[in-house]
Chains A and B, each alone.
Chain A
Amino acid sequence: MEVGNEIITLENVSKAYATGAPALNGVDLHINRGEFVFIVGDSGSGKSTLIKLLLRELTPTSGYINVMGYDLVKIRHRKIPKFRRNLGIVFQDFRLLKDRNVYENVAFAQRIIQVSNKEIKRNVPSILATVGLAGKYKAKPRQLSGGEQQRVALARALINRPTILLADEPTGNLDPKNSWEIMKLLEQINENGTTVLVVTHNREIVNSMQKRVVTMKKGIIVSDEEKGGYIDED
């Protein structure tokens, strides 16, 4: 159950893969509604496992996970789509439908929740304008730059007004200019009330933005700081 203002709760969460190596080991994490949180750490630190658990792509080996009131350990398979509709997801590799144009990629998220065509025609241009792609709605993903593709992915993640936005290395494939533009958009989205979790390696962005930073190493949280920075590895 969602407690007070808390929107994401992980209590003593562990995840071990079939190989036996623990990806997460007794993780506790509490995130409030409206927060902007960076999750940082090396490869193999458990960041990706954490995101997969929050998406309910994986289930934990032990522990308790609650996101927006959904108990992700006990949730039934048929309830998962409804749960995910409250999440916006952005990936490093964009994950756009390559054979569909920008408009259709964004509209797709609305079709899934059975929004009428009339509303889709109103909502899609508006969200494309927000991410600065109003003039490119007919373009196919391959005709866009990396930064533009990430904006489409962002528009798709935002169009259903998600409660939480999960961004897994959203700037991983982008140049510094585009990275900053995406981060500014994420900050703007957060200012409008959406809880934003960003998994990143981008030291400069983390250090500049002065947000809460959760640092992971070898499957555990080694640091959790308000207005934190990227901890240098020794």
Chain B
Amino acid sequence: MRISTFFYTIGQGFRNIVRNKWFSLASIATIGACLFLFGLFYAILSNFEHIVKTAEESVSVTIFFQEGTSDTRIAEIGEMVSRRVEVSKVEFVSAEEAWAGFRDDYLGEYSDGFTENPLINSAHYVIYLEDVSMQPALVTYLESIVDVRRINKSEITAMTLSGINALIAYVSLGIIGILFAVSIFLISNTVTIGISVRKEEINIMKYIGATDFFVRSPFVIEGILIGVIGSMIPMGIIYIIYNQVISYMTERFDMLTQLLEFLPVEIIFQTLLPVSVAMGVGIGFLGSIVTVRKHLRV
């Protein structure tokens, strides 16, 4: 291909957008609306996932040991537990640390009467989980360890968080499914409009002897450009809205933000931006290819 032909093709792609401005606007609006909804749900679901993840990280299982269990055996149990796939982190709390913590939290100045550690058998491990849904499997394992005396766990918290996780997965799948169906419907309508606008032009090009590539290229470039614009506009809107909503919630619901930590917009956009642009380009590319391909057999 000549350089002049290459630049001509690129130029035609840009000019096509201006020439068929209503069609271009309709396409940009279609892609933009779908990606706006996608971005919105992505931002909401990412935050939900983040909040659940943060809550999960604080869920732990505590194990205490039989009286007289040696330090070596306790260390060995610690090693065994930390090797489990369910476990993300294991913290050892010695009997002295357990007493010190209890004393500070509950007794304060009244602890002076104690000369010995009353919690001498209270050395324990605090075990944090990779995923709260794995808690029952870990507890079964811990119960099988000979020198373990007691296991403290919060089943309700674990089950609730597991339930929320499953719900988020189902909601995400459902929303993605609905958006996909809506996108296909809207894009096929837009493409149909495009076909009627372009039919004559494509026919003329083919009669004069244009190759499929020459006919297709400007339309494909146009489709990609529409996809890029159609993805950047909703991303810009989401960026502004997201920051506004977060700052509004931080100001108005101070209590809420102490409990829940929202993701910064930069973290959301690290994934959302490239995925949305890729989707926009993909939709634009496929839309234009399909439209033109239908009319190349002239």
Contacts and interface: CB of A to CB of B under 8 A. Distances in A.
Interface string A83-121: 111010100000111010000000011011110110000
Interface residues of B, number: 21
Contacts of B204: 95-97
Contacts of A76: none
A96 B205 CA distance: 10
Nearest to B207: A89
B5 interface: yes
A15 interface: no
Interface in B199-239: 200-201, 203-212, 214
A87 B207 CA distance: 9
A111 B5 contact: yes
B8 interface: yes
Interface in A6-65: 55, 57
Contacts of A55: 207
B209 A57 contact: no
Nearest to A105: B204
Interface in B277-298: 297-298
B150 interface: no
Nearest to B211: A81
A149 to B, nearest CB: 13
A18 to B, nearest CB: 16
B196 to A, nearest CB: 14
Interface string A193-233: 00000000000000000000000000000000000000000
B207 A84 contact: yes
Contacts, number: 53
A95 B207 contact: yes
Interface residues of A, number: 25
Nearest to B2: A114
B200 A95 contact: yes
Given A57-B298, A95-B200, A113 B19 contact: no
A112 B214 contact: yes
A156 B208 contact: yes
A111 B9 CA distance: 10
Contacts of A112: 205, 208-211, 214
Nearest to B205: A112
A102 to B, nearest CB: 15
B1 interface: yes
A77 B2 CA distance: 23
B61 to A, nearest CB: 68
A74 interface: no
A82 interface: yes
Contacts of B200: 95
B2 A109 contact: no
A116 B2 contact: yes
B209 A114 contact: no
A108 B2 contact: no
A175 to B, nearest CB: 25
Contacts of B4: 114, 116-117
A55 B297 CA distance: 13
B199 to A, nearest CB: 12
A110 to B, nearest CB: 10
A84 B208 contact: yes
Contacts of A96: 204
A83 B209 CA distance: 7
Given A57-B298, A114-B2, 6 more contacts: A81-B206, A81-B210, A99-B19, A114-B5, A116-B4, A156-B208
Interface of B: 1-2, 4-5, 8, 19, 200-201, 203-212, 214, 297-298
Instruction: Give 9 nearest A-B pairs by CB, closest first.
Output: A85-B209, A84-B209, A81-B211, A112-B210, A81-B209, A99-B19, A114-B2, A114-B5, A117-B4
